[in-house]
Amino acid sequence: MRLSRFYLPVLKETPADAQIASHRLMLRAGMIRQEGAGIYAWLPLGFRVLKKIEQIVREEQDRAHAVEMLMPTIQSADLWRESGRYDAYGKEMLRITDRADREMLYGPTNEEMITEIFRAGVRSYKDLPKMLYHIQWKFRDEIRPRFGIMRGREFLMKDCYSFDVDEESARNSYNKMFVAYLRTFARMGLKSIPMRADTGPIGGDLSHEFIVLADTGESAVFCDKGLVDMDVPAKTTDFDSDLQPVIDQFTSLYAATDEMHDEKEFETKVASENRISARGIEVGHIFFFGEKYSAPMKAVVAGPDGGDINVQMGSYGVGVSRLLGAIIEAYHDEAGCKWPMPVAPFHVGLVNLRVGDEACDAACAKLYAELEAAGVDVLYDDTPARPGEKFARMDLIGLPYQITIGPRGLGAGEAEVKDRHTGEKSNASLDDVAGEIAAKVKAALDYA
């Protein structure tokens, strides 16, 4: 992509409303634009990151045998009356009426709708288990939206729903999502820690929040240091195998958000030097809720004996748009973002320091073509801006590698390569640089 054709409205000054780093940087780097309280437009740069995150989420859902679909954002009130949540949900739900005065709502979540879809198509226990998911915009009329996209009213969420014939089987579905979540966040460079969470009226131990540690997180969290160093399950994990040992490993050490925190247990179970008391960002939440929706909404299958069985359900959410904020919180410095390769809007920034200079233009054009041919996403700064502005802008948008071509290096047949994460700069021969960078990009995209 040529920067001259792109739309990248960067801000030199920090917008007054932005309180935390991720919000500030997303506004400054021209990734989002606020259109209302908790409502944002995704500008091209931010949209590219959102898409990459979404794709990683999708790949890991698919790997865990969940099946993608897409449900509408607008739902009917009647559907929610079946579960009893239309009145229970409160003002967080955006209620609207259509031209015929039918009561509708902009979906804050989809348990009712997926249950309705499931019951229409599944009759027998032999069709179970099933896991269905979609990645779709939600609207929750939050009391207080804040921190940019971290708590927006409109946000992109992956929500998956599982259907099983009994609790034991439901636990398998739960475990699959548990492992999928560990992998999903790890692939984005995030260290997520599953923490036991409030299960609400159902009880039991089948609810976990996945928390990314960050000073600006909204929740206070407490956990054993050992969890931070735990290796996530590999790509080769067989999701048809018994995943319980993995879950046991991750739940063996203490980890709880403040509402579930038990200080006494914390002090007994965790040696003082291993106690982490920090703040975190909730990026995922998994839930088993049994017959909460299947019973009132009559989502039943015929069992082996021919009798009706209420299906056992679970739901599994990932805050896709929130993840952008979480990643920036984890990877940034004074100058700007520092994107991990798998979610970077472009892999490489190519900076032409002297646009209009024949030699510079030619060298950049050649390199640009070579990189693109090698499958590298390149943002080519072909604008006539001054060097200082170009460097600052590249640092701000935080592409993992910057390749700079200017008259000085060109004389020696060299380009300068900067690693945005380490800050290291080195010179590379013009002939080899495309191949070297392409190899580094490929290596960084290859995940476990």
Partner RNA sequence: CGGGGCGUAGCGCAGCCUGGUAGCGCAUCUGGUUUGGGACCAGAGGGUCGCAAGUUCGAAUCUUGCCGCCCCGACCA
Contacts with RNA by CB under 7 A lie at 10-17, 19, 34, 36-39, 92, 140, 142-147, 149-153, 155, 157, 198, 209, 218-219, 259, 282-285, 317-319, 321-322, 335, 353-354, 385-389, 391-396, 404-410, 416, 418, 425
Q: What separation in angstroms does the CA of 316 have from each of 176, 288, 293? A: 11, 9, 15
Q: How far is the CB of 131 from RNA (least distance, A)?
A: 17
Compare residues 119 and 418 and give the one whose CB is closer to RNA: 418
Compare residues 15 and 245 and give the one whose CB is closer to RNA: 15
CA 208 – CA 186 distance, rounded (Å): 17
Structure tokens at 46: 């931010």
Closest to 214 in 3D by CA, of 114, 314, 126, 323: 323
Compute the C-alpha angle 145/146/150, nearest 5°.
100
Compare residues 123 and 408 and give the one whose CB is closer to RNA: 408
Structure tokens at 74: 């607008």
Compare residues 164 and 282 and give the one whose CB is closer to RNA: 282
Q: How far is the CB of 306 from RNA (least distance, A)?
A: 36
Whether residue 384 has a cis bond before it, omega within 30° of 0: no
**How many C-beta atoms lie closer than 10 Å to residue 308's C-beta?**
9
Q: Where are the alpha helices (DSSP H) in 84-153?
A: 85-88, 111-121
Q: How far is the CB of 236 from RNA (least distance, A)?
A: 27
Q: Which DSSP helix (H) or strand (E) runs through 81?
A: helix 77-83
**How many C-beta atoms lie closer than 10 Å to residue 385's C-beta?**
15
Q: How far is the CB of 193 from RNA (least distance, A)?
A: 13
Compare residues 263 and 446 and give the one whose CB is closer to RNA: 263
3-state secondary structure (DSSP) of residue 21: helix
Compare residues 207 and 294 and give the one whose CB is closer to RNA: 207
Residue 76 near residue 103, CB atoms below 8 Å: yes
CA 229 – CA 27 distance, rounded (Å): 33
Q: How far is the CB of 338 from RNA (least distance, A)?
A: 12
Compare residues 102 and 408 and give the one whose CB is closer to RNA: 408
Q: How far is the CB of 313 from RNA (least distance, A)?
A: 14
CA 422 – CA 434 distance, rounded (Å): 20
Compare residues 108 and 342 and give the one whose CB is closer to RNA: 108
Q: How far is the CB of 409 from RNA (least distance, A)?
A: 3
Q: What separation in angstroms does the CA of 208 have from each of 146, 163, 315? A: 24, 18, 11
CA 154 – CA 319 distance, rounded (Å): 11
Structure tokens at 355: 């646009």
Q: How far is the CB of 416 from RNA (least distance, A)?
A: 4
Compare residues 78 and 205 and give the one whose CB is closer to RNA: 205
Residue 104 near residue 75, CB atoms below 8 Å: yes
Q: How far is the CB of 264 from RNA (least distance, A)?
A: 21
